[in-house]
Structure 1
Amino acid sequence: MGLTAGERIVQWLFRAVSSFFCALFVLVSPRRKAGKVAPVTESLLLIPAVQLAEKIRRKQVSCVEVVQAYLDRIQQVNPLLNAMVKDRFSAALAEAAQVDRLIEEETGGEEALADRLPLLGVPFSVKESFFLQGMPCSTGLVSRAGFVASKDAPAVALLKRAGAIPLGVTNTSELCMWLESSNHLYGITNNPYDTTRICGGSSGGEGSILASGGSVIGIGSDIGGSIRMPCFFNGIFGHKATPGIICNEGQLPPSSGLQEDLLSTGPMCRYAEDLLPMLKIMAGTNADKLLLSSEVDLKKLRFFTVVDDGGSPWTSPVDKQLVEAQRKVIQHLEADLGVKVKEMSFPQLKYSYQIWDTCMALPDKDGKPPQPFVELMADGGSTVWPVWELIKWIFGKSNHTIPSIGLALMNSKPSPFYLKEKEALQHDMDKVLGTDGVLLYPSHPLLAPKHHHPLFTIYNFSYTGIFNALGLPVTQCPLGLSEEGLPLGVQVVGGKLQDHLTLAVALYLEKTFGGWRDPGTT
């Protein structure tokens, strides 16, 4: 079902007004000089995490050497990116020395060590919204500048228990509710492929530091695309797990109402082969609910593709280079695997933003509504008045960013109409995917936008947010670079608890399209 005449008029007006203000913003904004990070020259930085752990166990390289290589890279790229906002370099080096001593003293053999500590000695980075003992957890709130976590979030603790060594915490958007990682506490984070462009949000610091070679694996969270958008804009892999598999505790802001059903903690990394081991570790005892050890025969899967959201009046048209990249994926699947990729359309997708917004506003099973955003902004302190904050922002006096102020001014309420649309879409999507179906869908309508430009295309995140509302696992996969040297990509969607299918497709796409590309050599 296409757009009505009224919807087409609204679409034209909205896009015309957005384009006008975006062009005006470009004219009045100070010129930023485009830059990108230097090429990776240290070979240790180009090894997947699982292989790196194996080399460390076999004493082919010392853990101290590995950690020092990553510290050197962070010090090289971070002044340009502002991705890591607090490091723990001294502690990481001390822990690396302990790893080397442990390996020297190990008597059970390499296999026992691998079983007990599968990520032994592997450096990783952590989104600053997660508790990491001894590190800040502010999510960009100026009022939380002095907060230091006294314990680890469960997902972080599981990675550490597997032997991984945290290097520091990375920047987010304020309260993790915007698609650009910028706040008044740490500032703005840049894209390593082009520093005039966004790195995404809210796990944008993670995406930036990983893509630049400053980390090999990391941890993010996703309630509307906060893993997948940064992974797309930065050309790396990320996975939004089936909800309820990885524990979401120990992060700020906490979910409330029925938001826990939309929120997923998950892995972010440069190499597809690290996704499944990370997911298995981070899931803990819940890993048994997934078929992570089962072999996946891609030739026996059913593949589907959807080219766009059906023409929502509020979203941008999908960039032609992204359309072409998705078409090439289909060509390869059909030629290499002998499968038939069926093009689908779901009319409810044009309501993606409204469905996500309605789900975010739903009360929990006891009828308790979500915590108001203004309360999260206040963080237990004085009441935040959004209109007053807007006035202060105009004069450069507010401690809050304009996206947060704008969100606080909104008053979302559950809509029965969009709940029905969501139920219909859920039914249709579940029926199509089943336990052996995989869907290709654009990651975002646009390539990584210029800084601040998402203010004029605020609904484009609905391309990722809809799958949070549907509770489906999604793997974000890079597909090479655009003519401008920016990452291309696609979302690979599976049925509930079918995470292993999308991860298997990610491995295939990495082999076919080359996976992550060093931004310094593009």
Structure 2
Amino acid sequence: MSPVNVTIASGASWQEVAADRQRHRDATIASLNPPLPKLSASDIPLDTTGIPGSILTAKELEITEKNVEDLVSLLASGQWSAKTVVQAFMRRAAVAQQLTNCVTEILSERALQRAAELDDHLAATGQPVGPLHGLPISVKEHVGMKGYDLNAGFVAWVGQVGEEDALILQILWDAGAVFYVRTTQPQTLMHLETRSNLYGTTVNPFNTTLTAGGSSGGEGALVGLRGSVLGIGTDIGGSIRSPAANNGLFGFKPTALRLPVSGWSATMAGSDHIVGTIGPLSTSLEGVSLFVRTILSGRPWLREPSLVPIPWRGKDQLEERARGRKLRVGVIWDDKVVRPHPPILAALSRVVAELQKSDEVDVIEWECWKHDLAWEVIAKLYFCDGAAEEKAAIAASGEPLLPLSKWILENPHVREHTISTLWQAHEERQAYRTSYAAIWNERDVDVILCPAGPGVAPKLETARYWGYTSQWNLLNYPAVVFPVGTKVSREESAQGKQDNKEHEYPEAYKPMSEADQYNYDLWKEHGVDGYVGAPVSLQLVGRM
């Protein structure tokens, strides 16, 4: 099957391939009607979040400012048509692309055809197709769509094509969803920011000098600008939670083998040393919940047998399990490897203070156990061929190796394993998981509250510490990122309202590690002014 709108000639340079992909993306945006004004660099401020309000119509703004739970009700009742809703989101997504470079293509023909079918069905039967009837959902590019390019961020892979929709898309489609836009990802899919030689750098809508996160950074920026309110990301070291945190969103990394991943495209297919997972980014917690409930109600384990066959466990079941005792929340202030920047510690302090006011919650200090070792173990298992397949995919087109690709692929823990060294690495993984589980059992906590990263959204090309997210991939624990409702503010910091002074680095601070020195230097160099506008988020970790 030929991919949709890939027109590159045989033997084209990597620059020509990238130019073709960008032309295609721009053409899909130009096809929207009525046309959108073209913004110049001088039109784009540091904080871009106010720009959609100056471009879109009042109705488009009303629609795109609704959350998932509001939209599904309005669509199911017929108060708003699927066509009207998807048109509004396509236009806002196109604006988001100009502001942050987050889109690989708008799927207007496919989306409008789907929307018309849904509207006709509702008119004819009076019933919605399913719980997501007419809901626009954005999709990270490497989640396959039938007939569409599936390059996974590699120039050499342009022209590969999805043979069918990924299983997760099939289930969402049956529930009534509309897929209308695909989003950017980084070279290798292994950055905590989003930059590729195909599309360039995706930036943060709240402060364009910062990263939107990665590897689902296109989703993060798009949902952050409400060009989507529910999108699909993937995560093997923080790739859902990093963009969710950086853009002030809810993002959920399920336990691996909980939601279906068949049909995505990535290197090292078949590797099960550290298993990636797939999940939602949303403007609301209910959007996350509805996404997961819908997927599990489709019983994906019947078609992807490796999945854990556990249905949705509802709120009543969880309350029954906790009945008779308080909720026990363990708190990680720092992981003893990297101290978080002051805005994160200040936010964590505020949340803990609120929890301590509750008669239904016990808060305990969680002493981290060998989180530095956790990084050594997981980094050793990310690229068991010594990153040979990743490097070959990059070399095949002649595209340059990007700085954060080089940083992760040439990490000192990366090695080409023999069978015996791989077995040994698996034993180390299992031993770490067993030890951590024993500690959790002993302390008897229900969840852990912790930072989602060593700071708010990092400066571009500086996201080099994964420990606050990859820790939970190694342990295979589910984790959700949530915004705390504040942003880094120059004015509030100056007035002491953020309590940053209490959480500033002490005089003559001695970093705990090389990674901590790096993170400390970033704060010393940029301080509040460098991160102004960035949302502040935290992470909640559980066990399946």
TM-score, normalised on structure 2? 0.73
- Written as runs of structure 1 = structure 2, the 5 A alignment for 1:383-402 is 398-402=399-403
Q: CA RMSD in A?
A: 2.7
CA pair 409-231 structure 1, distance change in 2 beyond 3 A: same
Q: C-alpha separation between the residues in 1 aligned to 2:155 and 2:69?
A: 37
Q: Which letter maps to 1:376?
A: E
Q: What is the CA–CA distance in structure 2 between the aligned matches of 1:424 and 1:309, rounded to whole Å?
A: 19
Aligned CA distance change for structure 1 residues 409 and 288 (closer, same or farther; 3 Å) = closer
Shift of 1:294: 3.4
* Correspondence for 1:81 among 81, 100, 104: 100
Kept after mapping to 1: 8 A contact 2:209/2:460: yes
Match runs of 1:74-153 below 5 Å: 74-106=93-125, 110=127, 113=128, 117-153=130-166
- Aligned-residue identity in percent: 27
- 1:67-122 Cα shifts (integer Å, max 9, x gaps): 11111211222111110111111221121111111100115xx4xx4xx5110100
- Give the Cα separation in 1 of the matches to 2:458 and 2:409: 24
Aligned residue for 1:431?
Answer: 441
1:36 aligns to what?
48
- Cα distance change on mapping 1:407 and 1:330 into 2, 3 Å: closer
Whether the 8 Å CA contact 1:33–1:196 is kept in 2: the answer is: no
The one-letter amino acid paired with 2:116 is: A
Alpha-carbon deviation of 1:232?
Answer: 0.4
**Structure 1 residues 191 and 184, CA, compared in 2 at 3 Å: closer, same or farther?**
same
Q: Offset of 1:214 from its aligned partner?
A: 0.3
Q: Deviations over 1:34-56 (max 9, x none)?
A: 34232556111122223312211
Q: Secondary structure at the match of 2:182?
A: strand
| 1:336-365 per-position Cα deviation (integer Å, ceiling 9, x unaligned) | 45422111102312323213213435xxxx
Query: Which deviates the most, 53-62 or 293-302?
Result: 293-302
Match of 1:333 among 355, 373, 387: 355
Contact 2:274 2:378 in 1 (8 A): no
Aligned to 2:462: 453
Q: Which amino acid aligns with 1:43?
A: E
Please say if residues 235 and 276 of structure 2, whose CA atoms lie closer than 8 Å, have aligned partners that are also in contact.
yes
Distance verdict in 2 for CA 1:382–1:449, change over 3 Å: closer
- Report the residue type matching 1:439 in the other structure: I
Distance 1:33 1:122, change over 3 A: closer
Q: Counterparts in 2 of 1:124-203, with a 5 A limit?
A: 124-203=137-216
Alpha-carbon separation, structure 1, partners of 2:443 and 2:177: 35
CA distance in structure 1 between the aligned counterparts of 2:150 and 2:435, rounded to whole angstroms: 37
Alignment size in residue pairs? 430
Distance 2:471 2:341 in 1: 19
Quote the Cα distance in structure 2 between the aligned partners of 1:337 and 1:136.
Answer: 53
AA aligned opposite 2:242: M
Q: Which residue of 2 aligns with 1:493?
A: 541
Q: Are residues 1:224 and 2:230 paired? A: no
Choose 255-264 or 153-162, whichever is displaced more. Answer: 255-264
Per-residue CA distance 1:308-339 (angstroms, 9 max, x = gap): 111x2xx4x20111111112111222224542
Q: CA deviation at 1:134?
A: 3.2
In the alignment, structure 2 segments of 5+ residues that lack a partner are: 1-41, 302-307, 490-531
TM-score of the pair, normalised by structure 1: 0.76
Determine if contact 2:273/2:381 at 8 Å carries over to the other structure. no
1:206 Cα deviation from its structure 2 partner: 0.5
In structure 1, stretches of 5+ residues that fail to align are 1-30, 362-369, 385-396, 497-522
Residue identity matched to 2:291: M
Check conservation: 2:329, 2:446, Cα contact below 8 A.
yes
Q: What's the counterpart of residue 378 of structure 1?
A: 392
The structure showing larger relative contact order (alpha-carbon pairs under 8 Å, at least 6 residues apart) is 1
Name the amino acid aligned to 2:194: S
Counterpart of 2:516 in structure 1 is: none
Given that residues 200 and 229 in structure 1 are in contact (C-alpha distance below 8 angstroms), is that contact kept between their aligned partners in structure 2? yes
